[in-house]
Homo-oligomer: A and B are copies of this chain.
């Protein structure tokens, strides 16, 4: 209550240390502590003494990651915003505030400095620190979504759309836990240092910043050039940089391509099962999914032909290598037939080939985009998969004009990527480091796949069904229908293993599977996982 009506006393500068039972007044000049009771507070108040129990009002949490000076500054801002400190009101001298809050004086000085810069307080020389006069004092309201219906928005209970959600694990991964992910590369292999060093080096060449912004809509020209060479060599794609768009992750490439092709009511042929973030994305855009069975040879192309004969769909989304989630590869025969269908029915295709570089059995079958598709295949790849999932880089390959449209669309989504970082990755390609890294990774991942599949088979082969994948970073493991993967995940968590609950793959009641990412685990980690799996099953 005492802090409700503070006002300025400029000649005397006392502050209160307030506790429920006992109230002390500390007079700055004499540095004497005088015990007070409520009556004397009131009399002091009438005498014009500044009454603010700062120690109660400004909470300091020494465990917090936020530096103390920031906590103090923030506390004072809240007092101002809540009108507990009014414009023109004088703050205690830093020395007094410090002893009051039991912190170092320099901490208070830093806090005041910060507040001054941000315009919350004004320093009047030889007088002290005052709450700024021109401050527009407002009462901030918590952000809250209104629950009313808007005209025309019947299907929603707010002014914005709901996005189809998927349950994700509520548990968080601690530093000491082993993570069973759904197919990430092993960041320990990626020579990220080399890329980050280059990044840091480039960032100092300040003229580059400006230069790179020029014509950056489709991504750094250096990276587009490197990618066109890399794709020519590894995938026999005939390209020049004008066919390549660099994106902030392959997902953005899918998003942009789908945005250009789909309209509300469009039909999209997808695999059954399919990469769930693609399905959800198409649905969010108002498209209708047509699900076509995926067996051990990939998607059923005869069914696609039947669909095309009836009424050509607007888009086919396909993952020919290591289909997500089931890891199967489209056979050569189906691939040839599919190319024929694409040409005949002029069927636009998004070919999501995120896993092409990781194939372990002889040479990979070339992408659809490498063959004659009449310009209907939009090809998408990922660099995140070759380096680290935190590195967000993907690319989209298509005809010149599609790339032009996609670049302009991309500008509306993100203006540009981090072109400086793209240049650093271009350098990594240019020096041959990327190819060496890929070679090492593919060799190691193949070994890991073999070890992991052997372990799985010998220890839980009776529980888990899977086929050894010909490439990629994960095994598609299915469980008996009644088996609870979330329960398994809980038991594993107790043993220090973090595994997602498989709810991402719970497409329907007939699917009870999960992707087990082997690529990021060394042998000891695999043993730990399999051992725990055996115990927790």
Interface flags, A34-71, vs B, CB<8A=1, else 0: 00000000000000000000000000000001110110
Known: A132-B363, A161-B260. 9 other contacts (CB 8 A): A77-B233, A114-B233, A139-B371, A172-B214, A172-B215, A174-B211, A176-B207, A209-B388, A389-B416
Q: How many Å lie between the Cα of A196 and that of B405 in the bound state? A: 33
- Is A8 among interface residues, defined by CB-CB distance under 8 A? no
A136: min CB distance to chain B, Å:
6
**Residues of chain A in range 227-277 having any CB-CB distance to chain B below 8 Å:** 229, 232-234, 236-239, 243, 248-249, 251-252, 255, 259-261, 263-264, 277
Contacts of A416 in B (CB 8 A): 249, 389-390, 392
Interface of A is mostly: loop
Stretch at the interface among A140-148, A289-297, A476-484, A485-493: A140-148
Q: How many Å lie between the Cα of A419 and that of B388 in the bound state? A: 11
> Is B203 in contact with A414, judged by CB distance below 8 angstroms?
no
Q: Identify the interface centre among A74, A187, A232, A236: most chain B CB within 10 Å of its CB.
A: A236
- Is A415 among interface residues, defined by CB-CB distance under 8 A? yes
Q: How many Å lie between the Cα of A210 and that of B78 in the bound state? A: 36
- Is A165 among interface residues, defined by CB-CB distance under 8 A? yes
Known: A399-B143, A430-B65. A415 touches B277 (CB 8 A): yes
Q: How many Å lie between the Cα of A458 and that of B440 in the bound state? A: 64
> Is B409 in contact with A163, judged by CB distance below 8 angstroms?
yes
Interface flags, A109-140, vs B, CB<8A=1, else 0: 01000100111100000000000101110111
* Cβ 8 A contact of A397, one of B143, B184, B193, B371: B143
* Cβ 8 A contact of A251, one of B210, B238, B364, B413: B413
Q: Which residue of B lies closest to A283 (CB)?
A: B412
Interface flags, A203-224, vs B, CB<8A=1, else 0: 1101101111111000000100
Question: Across chains A and B, which 6 residue pairs bring their CB atoms closest together, nearest first?
Answer: A119-B363, A145-B399, A163-B408, A196-B200, A160-B260, A179-B210
A468: min CB distance to chain B, Å:
19
A236: min CB distance to chain B, Å:
4
Q: Which residue of B lies closest to A187 (CB)?
A: B209
- Is A400 among interface residues, defined by CB-CB distance under 8 A? yes
> Is B66 in contact with A229, judged by CB distance below 8 angstroms?
yes
- Is A452 among interface residues, defined by CB-CB distance under 8 A? no
> Is B248 in contact with A74, judged by CB distance below 8 angstroms?
no
Contacts of A505 in B (CB 8 A): none
Known: A119-B364, A375-B146. A136 touches B432 (CB 8 A): no
> Is B77 in contact with A236, judged by CB distance below 8 angstroms?
yes
A181: min CB distance to chain B, Å:
7
- Is A332 among interface residues, defined by CB-CB distance under 8 A? yes
Q: How many Å lie between the Cα of A69 and that of B436 in the bound state? A: 13
Contacts of A260 in B (CB 8 A): 160-161, 163
Contacts of A165 in B (CB 8 A): 404, 408
> Is A376 in contact with B417, judged by CB distance below 8 angstroms?
no
Q: Which residue of B lies closest to A135 (CB)?
A: B363
- Is A511 among interface residues, defined by CB-CB distance under 8 A? no
* Cβ 8 A contact of A415, one of B144, B168, B249, B431: B249
> Is B252 in contact with A414, judged by CB distance below 8 angstroms?
yes
> Is A207 in contact with B400, judged by CB distance below 8 angstroms?
no
> Is A255 in contact with B412, judged by CB distance below 8 angstroms?
yes
> Is B74 in contact with A134, judged by CB distance below 8 angstroms?
no
Task: Mark A residues whose CB is within 8 Å of B.
Answer: 65-67, 69-70, 73-74, 77-78, 80-81, 110, 114, 117-120, 132, 134-136, 138-146, 148, 150-151, 158-166, 168-169, 172-176, 179, 181, 184, 187-188, 192-193, 196-197, 199-200, 203-204, 206-207, 209-215, 222, 225-226, 229, 232-234, 236-239, 243, 248-249, 251-252, 255, 259-261, 263-264, 277, 280-281, 284, 312, 314, 332, 346, 348, 362-366, 369-376, 388-392, 397-402, 404-405, 408-409, 411-421, 430-432, 435, 438-439, 442, 498, 520
> Is B81 in contact with A161, judged by CB distance below 8 angstroms?
no
> Is A365 in contact with B136, judged by CB distance below 8 angstroms?
yes
Q: List 5 A-B contacts (CB under 8 A).
A: A159-B348, A161-B260, A277-B411, A390-B416, A391-B418
> Is B401 in contact with A419, judged by CB distance below 8 angstroms?
no
Q: Identify the interface centre among A142, A243, A431: most chain B CB within 10 Å of its CB.
A: A142
